Structure 1
Amino acid sequence: MKQAYPIILTPSEHGYVVYVPDLDINTEGKDLADAIDMAADAIGLWGISAQDLGREIPAPSAALPACAPPQTASYALVDFDAYRRANDMRTVRKNVTLQSWLNDLAEKAGVNFSQVLQDALKQRLGVTDR
């Protein structure tokens, strides 16, 4: 599910500095669009890191924060589940059981068991590559 987090964009010499008040984090971007993208990335990374540590991700504030000129307030959209799928490249080890004759045939054919399992799981679960 997508969340819209309020952000404050402050022009700088090389683009924009971005502050996410709900999470007390900063990032920057070379232009307005890049700054908003970088804010979404920073929020996504912060969120999945918090989840990995067993902490809850705070809900975004409902209103834009007050800011002073030349600052601008906006929103950055993030989907934590999609962010994790796109950026979490950790691997886990799984032990599988199969008949020895099938194992022998696959080894002789040079089959990469991990790749076959990943491909089969993606197909079964309807998951597409990024």
Structure 2
Amino acid sequence: MNITYPAIITNEDDVFYIGFPDLESEFYGTYGDTFEEAIQMGKEYLVLKLGDLEEEKKNFPKPSLIKDIKLKENQSVAYINLNYEYEKSLVTISYVKKTLTIPSYLDILAKNKNINFSQVLQEALKQKLMNN
């Protein structure tokens, strides 16, 4: 399913902010350090916003016409066109099964406390990756 939405790109202080007037009440959805990066981030943001609407079983809003969009001096409009199903598959988190070995006493203690091993491993990996 190909989808096209207008995005308003605002250039302020060497940052390119991108927002979708049809999808959000606040103006900016995301940003990039370059115009190209803002477009890429905008695509991902658009897919996530549409995914939220899809989960809520809401219809996607009708895209605005360029003539109806009011711009400020430091703003421009870019149409973001994407194949929604394909882009959604790129953004969606996929999981990989990993096998690990732990001491038996930790296994017993964790099971007695109903600890989710996958969740603990994910949290520990995220923490470790943020500190490196």
In the other structure, the counterpart of 1:37 is 40
Cα distance between partner residues in 1 of 2:4 and 2:71 = 18
**2:86 aligned with 1:82, yes or no?**
yes
In the other structure, the counterpart of 1:16 is 16
**Comparing 78-87 and 68-77, the one that deviates more:** 78-87
**2:4 aligned with 1:4, yes or no?**
yes
Tell me which amino acid in the other structure corresponds to 1:6: P
- How many residues are aligned here? 91
In the other structure, the counterpart of 2:59 is 56
- Identical aligned residues as a percent: 21
In the other structure, the counterpart of 1:28 is 31
Contact 1:5/1:60 (<8 A) preserved: yes
| Deviations 1:70-122 (CA, angstroms, capped at 9, x unpaired) | 2111111232211222222367xxxxxxxxxxxxxxxxxxxxxxxxxxxxxxx
Q: Which runs of 4+ in 1 moved over 6 A?
A: none
RMSD: 1.9
Gaps of 5+ in 2: 96-132
TM-score by length of 1: 0.61
Contact 1:16/1:29 (<8 A) preserved: yes
TM-score by length of 2: 0.60
